[in-house]
């Protein structure tokens, strides 16, 4: 249904958003954008019609450092309204978030005997419509509440360690990444890593939050190298 809106001395007729219209307001810019679902050009950053993709389509700045391939979790956002309209988090997205903060939520499932058993399960038995991890849910159903049984996958978040320079975790990362072990890891340039560590104290809070996952990843690689000689 069309509705009339007054602009200055005249009156304009504007069509109300249809059922297939998506409307998003980006804050603090206060910029509201609309597009028809399925017809938004893909900007090749993030998944199609992801909030990152939409922001770039409409010229809204959204910091991201991974090329939009769910690899670094730097484009954190806060959804104030309408979260119920978002799609369920994919396993890949949740796993990326877990790994970004050096948290692995599936340690109980790394038992080699359990792995050897589950790898023989036919793929046709694993999914059921939109229900994820169906076999695990059914196995645990007698022991968990209905809320847990039907719940969506949720990642764990570790507080950023770089916000307080006296944080013991921050001090540990500084020590590890400045140690000789870093030179034994072939993926990193020691001079560049040291320069990044030197810049951290002067960074603002947002920059530190964005850098934190990268420091965690590099420190984890160094510890693995030191312990297991990878």
Under-70 pLDDT residues of the chain: 1-18, 65-76, 89, 91-110, 154-158, 230
The model's pLDDT over 169-228, given as tens digits with 9 standing for 90+, comes to: 888 889 999 999 998 888 889 999 999 999 999 999 888 888 888 888 899 889 888 887
Residues 64, 171 within the same domain:
no
Please indicate, yes or no, if residue 111 is contained in any of the structural domains. Answer: no
pLDDT at 93: 67
Residues 67, 18 within the same domain:
yes
How many structural domains comprise the chain?
Answer: 3
Please indicate, yes or no, if residue 15 is contained in any of the structural domains. Answer: yes
Q: What CA–CA distance (Å, rounded) separates 1 from 17?
A: 9
What is the residue whose two structure tokens read 């104030």? 80
Please indicate, yes or no, if residue 45 is contained in any of the structural domains. Answer: yes
pLDDT at 1: 42
SS3 of residue 4 by DSSP: strand
pLDDT at 12: 41
Please indicate, yes or no, if residue 114 is contained in any of the structural domains. Answer: no
Residues 95, 173 within the same domain:
yes
pLDDT at 5: 38
Q: Find the domain containing 165 and state its range.
A: 88-105+155-230
Residues 139, 171 within the same domain:
no
pLDDT at 194: 94
SS3 of residue 137 by DSSP: helix
Please indicate, yes or no, if residue 110 is contained in any of the structural domains. Answer: no
CB atoms within 10 A of CB 8: 6
Q: pTM of the prediction?
A: 0.38
pLDDT at 98: 62
Q: For 4, phi and psi rounded to 5 degrees?
A: -95, 135
Residues 81, 93 within the same domain:
no
Residues 30, 141 within the same domain:
no
CB atoms within 10 A of CB 21: 12
Please indicate, yes or no, if residue 191 is contained in any of the structural domains. Answer: yes
Please indicate, yes or no, if residue 115 is contained in any of the structural domains. Answer: no
SS3 of residue 62 by DSSP: coil
């Amino acid at each position: 249904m069309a509705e009339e809106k007054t602009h200055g001395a005249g009156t304009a007729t504007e069509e109300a958003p249809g059922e297939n219209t998506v409307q998003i307001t980006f804050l603090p810019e206060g910029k509201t954008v609309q597009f028809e679902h399925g017809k938004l050009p893909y900007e090749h950053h993030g998944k199609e019609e992801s909030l990152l993709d939409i922001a770039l389509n409409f010229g809204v700045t959204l910091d991201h450092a991974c090329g939009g391939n769910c690899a670094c979790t730097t484009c954190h956002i806060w959804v104030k309204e309408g979260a119920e309209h978002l799609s369920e988090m994919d396993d890949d997205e949740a796993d990326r978030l877990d790994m970004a903060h050096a948290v692995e939520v599936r340690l109980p499932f790394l038992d080699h005997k359990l792995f050897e058993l589950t790898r023989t399960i036919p793929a046709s038995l694993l999914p059921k419509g939109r229900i994820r991890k169906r076999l695990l849910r059914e196995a645990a159903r007698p022991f968990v509440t209905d809320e847990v049984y039907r719940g969506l996958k949720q990642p764990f978040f570790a507080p950023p360690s770089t916000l307080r320079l006296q944080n013991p975790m921050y001090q540990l990362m500084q020590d590890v990444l400045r140690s000789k072990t870093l030179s034994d890891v072939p993926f990193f340039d020691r001079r560049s890593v040291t320069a990044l560590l030197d810049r951290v104290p002067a960074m603002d809070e947002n920059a530190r939050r964005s850098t934190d996952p990268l420091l965690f990843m590099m420190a984890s690689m160094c510890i693995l190298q030191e312990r297991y000689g990878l």
